């Protein structure tokens, strides 16, 4: 088992939610105290209450974009970690298959093909949660030209994969990243 699989999660998501709730409770308490102070001073008016609401809206509208950016970066970091785990797990399974292929019970295990099929390429893209043409070729130990046509067919004919950046599907570039559709 790899070191990354032995590590326990740090609870970052729950910590973020908890700290956000504490911040909202603090803001609510400040608004309630300020409102009580206004009412207690006998100069309470709808304009004063409206002013507190405006300040709260300004404060929250400043915090929301930062919170969204932070959460998006955390999700992207987790996606990269999951991709790395999936690829390393796939390689580890392949290594174990190679070690056990001579055992009588494991005689029918399929080896990593020298000339991968479209289905092999699609499975790799699915497991890796997106891969460049170069990564696909490196995984199967073939040249990028050997997988270029099959990636093109997966995109154009089978409609199983797509790319987020403009890349000609008939002749995909080596650095174009391909993702599983759906």
| Residues 88 and 2: beta-carbon distance below 8 Å | yes
10 DSSP assignment: -
In terms of residue numbers, what domain contains 52? 13-106
Query: Does 81 share its domain with 125?
Result: no
Q: In sequence order, which ranges of 3-142 are alpha helices (DSSP H)?
A: 3-6, 12-40, 46-100, 118-128, 133-140
Query: Does 100 share its domain with 18?
Result: yes
Segments of the chain with pLDDT less than 70: 1-13, 34-45, 48, 100-114, 166-167
Which H or E element spans position 153? helix 144-156
User: How much is the pTM?
Assistant: 0.44
Residue-level pLDDT at 106: 47
Which residue, 83, 106, 129, sits at the end of a domain? 106
Query: Does 122 share its domain with 101?
Result: no
CB 62: neighbour CB atoms within 10 A?
A: 9
State the first-to-last Cα distance of the chain, in angstroms, to the nearest integer.
Answer: 31
| Residues 85 and 116: beta-carbon distance below 8 Å | no
Query: Does 99 share its domain with 31?
Result: yes
Query: Does 98 share its domain with 122?
Result: no
Query: Does 102 share its domain with 132?
Result: no
Query: Does 74 share its domain with 19?
Result: yes
Kindly state whether residue 3 falls inside one of the protein's structural domains.
no
């Amino acid at each position: 088992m790899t070191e990354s699989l032995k590590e326990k999660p740090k609870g970052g998501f729950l910590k973020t939610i908890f700290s956000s709730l504490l911040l909202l409770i603090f803001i609510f308490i400040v608004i309630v105290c300020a409102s009580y102070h206004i009412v207690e001073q006998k100069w309470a008016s709808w304009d004063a209450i409206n002013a507190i609401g405006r300040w709260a809206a300004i404060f929250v509208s400043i915090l929301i974009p930062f919170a969204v950016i932070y959460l998006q970066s955390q999700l992207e970091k987790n996606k990269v970690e999951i991709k790395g785990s999936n690829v390393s797990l796939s390689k580890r399974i392949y290594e174990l298959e190679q070690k056990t292929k001579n055992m009588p019970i494991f005689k029918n295990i399929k080896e990593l093909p020298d000339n991968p099929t479209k289905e092999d390429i699609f499975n790799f893209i699915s497991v890796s949660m997106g891969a460049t043409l170069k990564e696909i070729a490196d995984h199967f130990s073939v040249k990028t030209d050997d997988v270029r046509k099959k990636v093109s067919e997966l995109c154009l004919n089978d409609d199983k994969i797509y790319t987020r950046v403009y890349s000609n599907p008939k002749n995909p570039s080596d650095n174009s990243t391909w993702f599983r559709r759906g």
